[in-house]
Amino acid sequence: MICKTRNRIRNRRGFTLVEAIIASGIFLVATSMVISATYALQYAARQEKIQNEVERDATRSLDFLQRDVNRASEILAAWEGFATTDTVLVLEIPNFDSKEVPISGAEGHVIFTLIEEEGILERIEFGPESEGSELLSYRITRHIAGFELFFDHLSYDSLVLSEKPLGDVFNVEVALVTEQEKDGVLYTRNFRSSATIRSQS
């Protein structure tokens, strides 16, 4: 009877202190690995979201620029206080009649300009001068660290030295750099785009 009781006590015995410590250690390691993996996934998702936002805004601005250059009749050296440089683009946009013939004197204008100290790229569209050059649309893109224009594969300074008139330029290239800081990390992206003035091609 006493032997049976001792056998039951031996069969019911619990974990030793060493086994409990080892089990707790394994549990803590597994838990910390799960938490680290979860944090890393969240951080990566946040980084991707920020990069996607910056890329979306920059791509939209480049799409506008490409479309406006495609529909322009020419690049103007200057118009209403705006002058084309390596960071400013002044475009003349024709208006057409029902037969797709350009209406003389009814040209609109689109200006792209970099406000460097604020990191902003502006797009300003004006209606025809015959209607008072009314402001039609205004759009800005933030987090712009660099914006440079090239005309027929030449920088603006090289174009001036070549003495080629802006009115003869048919290809515009743009180099765009975006920068955004979030959570102590600086995200930088470089973009390049090219567009052709169709009336010149």
β-bridge partners, 14: none
In a domain, 121, yes or no: yes
Quick check: is 2 in a domain? no
Rounded distance, CA 42 to CA 46, Å?
6
In-domain check, residue 9: no
Is 169 inside a domain boundary?
yes
Please check whether residue 75 lies inside any domain of the structure: yes
- Asked if 57 and 180 count as a contact pair (C-beta separation under 8 A), the reply is no
Is the residue at 13 inside a domain? Answer: no
Q: What is the pLDDT of residue 188?
A: 86
Q: Which domain holds residue 170?
A: 42-196
Query: If we measure between CA atoms, which residue out of 110, 104, 70 comes closest to residue 89?
Result: 110
CA distance 131 to 62: 28
Question: Which residues does 54 contact at the CB level (< 8 Å), separation at least 6?
Answer: 143, 178, 180, 187, 189
pTM for the whole structure: 0.73
Per-residue pLDDT of the chain (201 residues; tens, 9 = 90+): 555 555 555 555 667 888 888 888 898 998 888 888 888 888 778 777 777 777 888 888 899 999 999 999 999 999 989 999 999 999 999 988 777 777 887 889 999 999 999 999 999 999 887 677 788 888 888 889 999 999 999 999 999 999 999 989 999 999 999 988 877 888 888 999 999 997 654
Q: What is the DSSP string of 47-85?
A: HHHHHHHHHHHHHHHHHHHHHHHHH-SEE-SEETTEE--
Domain annotation covers residue 35 = no
Question: 136 in a domain, yes or no?
Answer: yes
Domains: count for the chain: 1
